[in-house]
Amino acid sequence: MSVQQPVGTRFSPSLLALAICLSGTQTTLAADTEKAAAPLELGATEISGQALGETTEGTQSYTTGAMATATKLPLTMRETPQAVTVITRQRMDDQAMTSVNDVVKNTPGLFLSQSSGPGRQTYSSRGFDIDNMMFDGLPSAYSGYANSVQPNLAMFDRIEVIRGATGLVTGAGNPSAAINFVRKRPTTTPQVSITGAAGSWDDYRTELDASSALNDSGTLRGRVVGSYRDANSFRDNETSDHGLFYAISEADLSEDTTATLGFSRQEDQTNFFWGGLPIGTDGHHLNLPRSTNPGSDWENKELTINTVFGDVQHRFDNGWKLNVAGSASQLDGVFTGSYQSRYQTELARTAYQSHQDDKQYAFDTFASGPVDAFGRTHEVVVGTSKRIYDATSKEYSPYDTNYPLNGAKPDFQRNGKTHTLTTQDGVYLTTRLNLADPLKVILGARLDWYDYDDRQSQDGDYKVTRNLTRYAGVIYDLDEHHSVYASYTDIFNPQSSKDLSGKVLEPIVGENYEVGIKGEYFNGALNASLAVFQIDQKNRATTAATQAGCPVLTCYAAAGLVRSQGIDLELQGALTENWQVGGGFTYTRAHFIKDSDPANDNQRFSSDTPERLFKLTTSYRFQGPLEKLRIGGNVYWQSRMYNDIALTNGSYRLEQGSYAVADVMAGYQVNQHLDLQVNANNIFDRTYYSAIGNSTIWGSTDTYGNPRSFGVTAKYSF
């Protein structure tokens, strides 16, 4: 075995123009605030934990005062018995983040892979792929063509991440993590900001954000965000256009009832290639120039995502609240491209086109409030949820599996269609028991009904009835600043494989065991945590020992087991009033305990993700004569990753060794209205592969990480 080391159509900015027009008339649309009875106001904020709530905009902080993503209970990070991270608005701005890829790359414990090429990405945590996104707490599927979507960060206040199994709030999925995107809310005080940015490879971005009360009493509030970005790439002939229109309105229907209604439309167009760069037939890296683009100029990805969302919250006199929320989104996508087949020569490709029509609906209703028992006050959440995912894909192909590089666009002919409907209904109950002043216990349970309907063939249907998901956590306060905790969480994932009797296998179950210690300092302005975890993913399909009497092509048994063990260390928030920090170190060892292939037993699972990750972001605001100046930086380090490949001509290992990348930032507040910022990424211009793929479709591939780049941002607020 050898080891190899690495040395269209343009989008019209009409959405932004519409945003500007609407901001001028202040007709915007909204959502609920940390205290829904009182509208959100943003102003100059001193960095103090006492000033931090859930909303992070305007706080200049790298942490948050509360988050409800893990249990639907409004808990501080210290009170949450799981590893949690928040990427605040300030941190997004300091690092000039524009995509979810940027967020994942900078979030401790999360790994970004583009092994399917630069146009598609997968995210993982603790050794498992992340397949659940959330928007304001409502789950959204992240698989198939949906993982080509990059929600525009301009409309979000913060991104909350829960690592481990999250079945209590998401239902089905992997025991990896849940990423919750929390949208910006309207403000009562008028505020408008206009942002312009320019960067390497002709990367230009404009953004407008306007918010205000819409009546004299402030009971009706609105906000609108418009964004447009036009960019090239370090890869030849790769361009992209991204447009966003976001509007949200919030109305106090009474002193106790608040309603929210919002809409977003995102249009993305990217010229990209599928499958990454080819490697040599003997498994070596070709070390092609980073600018290499094996695709043709007619290859592109066109996406339009429309989303309508809203909620109503009513507050009762006894402290209870009733929340009703829902969202509906539609993705229209056309994917036209070519990819290298693992069975072709190094440069031959297969042309391909797909038309995607995905619809997602999510609804959630829950009541929460205090319950007095045994002389103490406890908290309870009870609710019900529903998710619908309707996906239609029309496939087109010229039936040419040996398509030449840079060939003319083929005459695509439709050759297939898939249509699936996935529904998931759930009921859940969570309680936080106040057993003693220093001792809290969180218990939760969820029942799910899951149904997968293959509209093209009944042979692919399967369902899960009354699956029980469990949650248990114990938190003990050691002193004013420190708590220890232990928790158990799980999650299920239905599977379609059948056993010898013809029955669909029981769902895969991911069980997350975690113990840790958390610290909270400066009234919550700084949060620290250390966690040790073990995840057992059970019931994985393994090939049945005998196939005698098997009613289908291949029969399986729910006997596979993968175990992931590791540690999570994190620090986020203010070290001083002017010094913010966010970062962490993660070690994860995921390995097979039992697999269909006995050769995999005790071998590494997901070896194409690193076992060790270190990420650190920091910023400092000067005082005195330099008070208008701020500086910052970011360091990313990962350990090696590899793929062991077996082909007819031999076996080899495709590997990327450990590497580090550093970024820097400097900003200057010219006056109360104008702010300037410069970002430099990969300042040492490190050449590395951010992903090494091994697909059953396109074989082994390489994807380069971004070279050194620069960006300048100017923001004018009034």
pLDDT at 405: 64
pLDDT at 40: 43
Q: What's the pLDDT band for 41 if we cut at 50, 70, 90?
A: very low
pLDDT at 16: 39
Which residue matches tokens 């499958």? Answer: 275
Please state the pTM of the whole predicted model.
Answer: 0.91
Distances in Å between the Cα of 649 and the Cα atoms of 281, 600, 608, 698 are 9, 21, 22, 17
pLDDT at 53: 84
Average pLDDT of every residue of the chain: 88
pLDDT at 647: 67
Strands 650-656 and 2-4: parallel
Bridge partners, 336 (sequence order): 300, 353
- Is residue 43 predicted with pLDDT exceeding 70? no
pLDDT at 599: 82
Q: What would the two tokens of residue 455 be? A: 């509209």
pLDDT at 361: 96
pLDDT at 146: 59
Mean pLDDT lowest for which of 44-48, 71-75, 547-551, 559-563?
A: 44-48
* DSSP-assigned states of every residue in 532-561: EEEEEEEEEEEE-S--TT-SSSS-EEEEEE
Q: Percent of the chain having pLDDT more than 90?
A: 70
- Is residue 65 predicted with pLDDT exceeding 90? yes
Which residue did the predictor score with more confidence, 371 or 408? 371
pLDDT at 715: 98
Mean pLDDT lowest for which of 95-109, 145-159, 641-655?
A: 641-655
Instruction: Give the phi and the psi of residue 142 in degrees, each rounded to 5.
Output: -135, 80
- Is residue 510 predicted with pLDDT exceeding 80? yes
* Average of per-residue pLDDT across 617-622: 98
Q: How many helices (H) and strands (E) does the chain have?
A: 4, 36
Mean pLDDT lowest for which of 261-265, 386-390, 601-605, 693-697?
A: 693-697
* DSSP-assigned states of every residue in 48-104: -GGG--S--TTS--SS-S-B-TTTSS-B-TTTSSS-EEEEEHHHHHHTT--SHHHHH
* Average of per-residue pLDDT across 225-248: 95
Q: What's the pLDDT band for 604 if we cut at 50, 70, 90?
A: very high
Write out the H or E segment, with its range, that includes residue 287.
none
CB 223 within 8 A of CB 193: no
pLDDT at 142: 72
Mean pLDDT lowest for which of 114-118, 355-359, 592-596?
A: 114-118
Which residue did the predictor score with more confidence, 664 or 47? 664
579-590, pLDDT tens digit by residue?
999 999 999 999
pLDDT at 478: 98
What strands lie across the sheet with 110-113, from one edge to the other? 110-113, 122-125, 128-129
CB 498 within 8 A of CB 487: no
* Average of per-residue pLDDT across 638-663: 87
12-38, pLDDT tens digit by residue?
444 434 333 433 433 333 333 333 334
Q: What's the pLDDT band for 6 if we cut at 50, 70, 90?
A: very low
- Is residue 698 predicted with pLDDT exceeding 60? no
d(CA 718, CA 716): 7
Dihedral angle over CA of 266, 11, 713, 155, nearest 10: -10
Q: What's the pLDDT band for 644 if we cut at 50, 70, 90?
A: confident
CA-based angle 511:514:519, to the nearest 5?
Answer: 150
Mean pLDDT lowest for which of 154-168, 277-291, 533-547?
A: 277-291
pLDDT at 34: 37
d(CA 522, CA 78): 13
* DSSP-assigned states of every residue in 588-646: EEEEEEE-SSGGGTTSBSSTTS-SEEEEEEEEEE--GGGTTEEEEEEEEEE--EEEEEE
Q: What's the pLDDT band for 317 if we cut at 50, 70, 90?
A: very high
667-676, pLDDT tens digit by residue?
999 999 999 9
512-544, pLDDT tens digit by residue?
999 999 999 999 999 999 999 999 999 999 999
* Average of per-residue pLDDT across 357-370: 96
d(CA 567, CA 588): 7
pLDDT at 129: 93
* Average of per-residue pLDDT across 547-558: 91
Q: What's the pLDDT band for 143 if we cut at 50, 70, 90?
A: low
| Domains, the chain, with CATH or none | 2-717 (2.40.170.20)
Helix, strand, coil percentages for the chain (3-state, nearest 5): 5, 55, 35
Strands 122-125 and 629-638: unpaired
pLDDT at 13: 43
